Amino acid sequence: MDATVVPAEAARKVLVRLDAVEQLYDRKIRILGPMDLEVREGEFLSLVGPSGCGKSTLLRIVAGVLQPTRGRVFLGDRLLEGVNRSAALVFQSFALFPWLTVVDNVALGLEARGLGVHERLKKAEKYIDLAGLAGYERAYPKELSRGMKQLVGLARALAVEPELLCMDEPFSALDVLTARTMRDLVLDLWASPEVLTKSILLVTHSIEEAVSLSDRVVVLKANPGRIADMVDLASLPRPRRADAPAVREVVDHMYTLLA
């Protein structure tokens, strides 16, 4: 893959910047880094690699829910301290509240952001509609299929209109067909003018998934977690079919890096 940097890409505002970040276990066992990483405005960035490469750790550092052992995290030009309020998270395990309906699960994050009840419902409805969940508002999580549960998680994250959506293996608990339609939906939402969130950070162990979705892919190696390559895919048009030669070439390159 030609790694030419498009000037417009390089000039994009940096949302989150990790500077010489390291994660140690018990102060001596190196899990991750040291490494630098930028999440840029408007990009779909994926972190891909095998178990133990620290991809989820990196995502948690970006989201500010985990403090790196060493190094600094910047939000724009400010040092990030504590939780990154401009980011929202989607988890592999959905993390819904079983005793709340779909609409209440989606509206929940909005309460924490200080919106009144009317505004909360309006916004929740909007993102429920966009996620294709209209009709399920009053359903409880236990009544939903796994795919629909993940849509609720996605609607909940998008409803707070974060600058950055962080998704940790969001499709890996789903069967292949459901995962496929979810990936399409995420791309549609990302492209929709109605959705204000324009930057996505995805953690996945699927190279094919990273390549099918992302503008840039960070390929990570394990033990300790480190960057093997940063692949720019912005010039690869979507939708990207798995059997397209350009897609195959990038996928092969990434497998070769990790093998």
Query: What does the binding site for other proteins look like in residue numbers (CB under 8 A)?
Result: 130, 132, 134-136, 138-140, 143-148, 151, 175-182, 184, 188, 241
Separate counts of helices (H) and strands (E) for the chain:
8, 10
> Which residue number, 93 or 192, has a Cβ lying nearer to other proteins?
192
Closest CA to 83 of 32, 149, 25, 16: 16
> Which residue number, 43 or 104, has a Cβ lying nearer to other proteins?
104
Q: How far is CA 169 from CA 28, 138, 210, in A?
A: 28, 27, 11
Cα–Cα dist 96/8, whole Å = 39
CB of 196 to other proteins, least distance (A): 18
CB of 91 to other proteins, least distance (A): 18
Q: How far is CA 34 from CA 23, 58, 164, 238, 253, in A?
A: 8, 11, 23, 33, 24
CB of 101 to other proteins, least distance (A): 9
> Which residue number, 107 or 131, has a Cβ lying nearer to other proteins?
131
Cα–Cα dist 71/97, whole Å = 35
CB of 191 to other proteins, least distance (A): 11
CB of 181 to other proteins, least distance (A): 4
> Which residue number, 69 or 92, has a Cβ lying nearer to other proteins?
92
C-beta of residue 105 within 8 angstroms of C-beta of residue 95 = no
Q: Helix, strand, or coil here: 58? A: helix
> Which residue number, 69 or 181, has a Cβ lying nearer to other proteins?
181
CB of 179 to other proteins, least distance (A): 7
Q: Helix, strand, or coil here: 60? A: helix
Length of the chain: 259
C-alpha angle 30/200/153, rounded to 5°? 95
> Which residue number, 185 or 257, has a Cβ lying nearer to other proteins?
185
